[in-house]
Structure 1
Amino acid sequence: MTKKALLSFLCVMVAGCDNATSLVSYTPEMASFSNEFDFDPLRGPVKDFSQTLMNDKGEVAKRVSGTLSQEGCFDTLELHDVENNTGLALVLDANFYRDAETLEKRVRLQGKCQLAELPSAGVVWDTDDNGFVVSAAGKEMNVQYRYDADGYPLGKTTVTKDNKLSVNSKPSADPLKKMDYTAVTLLNDRPVGNVKQTCEYDAHANPVNCQLIIVDESAKPAVERSYTIKNTIEYY
């Protein structure tokens, strides 16, 4: 066996050399946007993506899609909550995101493309030295965001005048399967829900298909709902 053939064989045996070269940390923009807008973060040179959440009847419940520049900035971001009939479509324009339909300035940015302010709600985001959004402050609320060493979002804690709502996520110990996670939601330090997700992955260690189970513990008895997430990802 030649050295080249041996190297190729070894790459296959260790689950692919592509995984090793494309296993990168989450960028501050990807991690922060996913934390704020509630979608699964992605690694690597993502060009465009979509994430579709379907209930156990196969009906679309939510859909998120976006396009990114080669520098990792979100050029566009669309969020559709079908269950609640709400949505938002943002388009990058200099240091603002505009509403794609009305062209109203919706989000002010800092640096090249990081969240800075939501003027209509009086919310201001703050970043750490690495560019990750770590806090947000509004007239009647404060939010603290958490990440692990790879930039994976570990959740956030929102404090208002009367309540403290915390979401705490624990990813798989396998660095190739970060989106296999469990999460617990606490309201005033009391559990009100939990989530478990397991996924299939591509060569960039990004989720392609996921199974999501959400348990609402605030209901008596607790209510369990099952979802499927279908992702499409194109890379540079």
Structure 2
Amino acid sequence: MVSAVLAGCDDAPAPDAFTPEMASFSNEFDFDPLRGPVKDFSQTLMNEEDKVALRVTGTLSKEGCFETLDFHDVESNTGASLVLNANFYLDSMTQEKRVKLQGKCQLAELSGTGLVYETDDKGFVVAARNSDAEIRYRYDSEGYPLGRTAKSKDKELSVEATVSSDAHKKHDYTAETTLNGEVVGRANQSCRYDSHFNPVSCELVMTDVSVTPNKVQKFTIKNIINYY
């Protein structure tokens, strides 16, 4: 019986890989990437006072293209609301062109900044640059974003994540942020997952080690995900 159970586990389907669009957008716009046929989602970051600090919502086509993407940093009162229109994402309020696309729905250029994106042969955004800065993006073998390094004239800011060895729990990770080679921050996240191995809720601890004593912030991330 034990061998039969083990054989059944071996035959279980592997989790879906992360698509180039989902991985690239999440890497650029700072939200947790999702697997599978996602129709729409919301991710809400709650602080220790149970107040909303950050909210991201999105809708996707059956092909996996973002049709809308809305993100709002409540604490700094910044954000954007994007809607797909042909080869651009427009500001949903002003209808101004914000993001130019390459192919069907991958990042090509960020309007107003001169930031141009580069993709690899699998379609993942691996670099972006303008006259002032260069950014390099990293992913693991399943397409999960592992971080990025941004270089400007005299600064190099890098985020490097180490994910769980369990392929079903990619959102369980530790991460380290460095500025010019010195560690300035650390993060640790652990999650509960749904049947698509996407996070339902997560606990995130962020530590600012650039100050003494270190500043520790704890957050809860609540996700609502609907599938096709």
- TMscore range, shorter length: over 0.9
Matched, 1:178 2:176: no
Aligned residue for 2:168, secondary structure, equals helix
Contact in 2 for aligned 1:157/1:167 (Cα 8 Å): yes
Match of 1:222 in 2: 214
TM-score with structure 2 setting the length: 0.95
| Residue 65 (structure 1) aligned with residue 84 (structure 2) | no
**Runs in 1 of length 4+ with deviation above 6 angstroms?**
none
Paired positions, count: 225
Partners of 1:22 and 1:151 in 2: CA distance: 14
Q: CA deviation at 1:221?
A: 1.1
Aligned runs of 1:1-236 on 2, under 5 Å? 14=9, 20-21=12-13, 23-236=15-228
Partner amino acid, structure 2, of 1:55: N
Structure 1 residue 22, shift from structure 2 partner: 6.5
* SS class of match (1:121): coil
> 1:139-158 CA distances to partner (integer Å, 9 max, x unpaired)?
11000000010000010000
The gaps in structure 2 that reach 5 residues or longer are none
User: In the aligned structure 2, how far is the partner of 1:10 from the partner of 1:77?
Assistant: 42
How much is the aligned-residue C-alpha RMSD, in angstroms? 1.7
Q: Which has the higher helix share?
A: 1
What TM-score results when the alignment is normalised by the length of structure 1? Answer: 0.92
Query: Which runs of 5 or more residues in structure 1 are unaligned?
Result: 1-5
SS at 2:112's partner residue? helix
